[in-house]
């Protein structure tokens, strides 16, 4: 009984810490974040304002979980006119919190960035993970609109039947 009261007390004291356990709901203002690439290039929330950001926040072990969706979104992106491409920002982020051999991880981020044709960023201190309520050891998809609001947040493998909804969010967000 004492344990239940203690847990309830903790929830009452820190409700915000537990509210993000399943990700941020649509319509939530996107929290500030700062991530760094393998080349120490910084990306923050301020850098993505005015664009629709498609963020895959993943652990090293989960980067292939949504490969089908990533390939579909890359084809969608490639089919857009240049004016629309400028409004879409594709942001892969790897959870790098607590890694050993940081230099080796940065080298891997650099190499994988070349392979993917996108700059891959690392969340080195875990602050973005906490702020966005991403699920550990999972593939997390977050879409932030041009005004800085979360429009989609999902952890796990996105089913193919939802691909259209995600592309619709990009279409509406970029005013195609």
* Residue ranges per structural domain of the chain: 21-173
Categorize the per-residue pLDDT at 23 as very low, low, confident or very high, splitting at 50, 70 and 90.
confident
How would DSSP label each residue in 29-84?
BPPP-EEEETT--EEEHHHHTTSEEEEEEE-GGGTTTTHHHHHHHHHHHHTS-HHH
Closest CA to 106 of 46, 40, 16: 40
* 27: pLDDT strictly greater than 90: yes
Range name among 8-17, 40-49, 111-120 with the lowest pLDDT average: 8-17
Tell me the per-residue pLDDT of 56-93, one tens digit each, with 9 for 90 and over: 999 989 999 999 999 999 999 999 999 999 999 999 99
Question: Does CATH place domain 21-173 in 3.40.50.720?
Answer: no
Cα(13)–Cα(4) distance, integer angstroms: 14
pLDDT of residue 39: 93
Joined tokens for residue 64: 């292939």
Give the C-alpha distances (Å, rounded to integers) separating 129 from 20, 31, 105, 152. Answer: 10, 11, 18, 16
């Amino acid at each position: 009984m004492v344990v239940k009261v203690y847990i309830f007390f903790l929830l009452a004291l820190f409700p915000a810490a537990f509210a993000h356990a399943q990700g941020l709901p649509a319509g939530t203002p996107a929290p500030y974040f700062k991530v760094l690439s393998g080349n120490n290039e910084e990306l923050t929330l301020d850098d993505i304002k005015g664009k629709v950001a498609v963020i895959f926040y993943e652990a090293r072990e989960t980067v292939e979980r949504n490969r089908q969706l990533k390939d579909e979104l890359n084809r969608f992106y490639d089919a857009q006119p240049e004016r629309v491409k400028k409004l879409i920002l594709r942001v892969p982020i790897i959870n790098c919190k607590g890694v050993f051999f940081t230099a080796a991880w940065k080298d891997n981020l650099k190499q994988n960035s070349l392979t993917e044709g996108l700059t891959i960023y690392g969340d080195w201190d875990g602050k973005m993970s906490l702020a966005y309520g991403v699920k550990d050891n999972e593939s997390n998809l977050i879409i932030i609109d041009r005004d800085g609001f979360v429009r989609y947040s999902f952890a796990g493998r996105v089913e193919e039947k939802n691909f259209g909804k995600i592309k619709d969010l990009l279409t509406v967000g970029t005013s195609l």
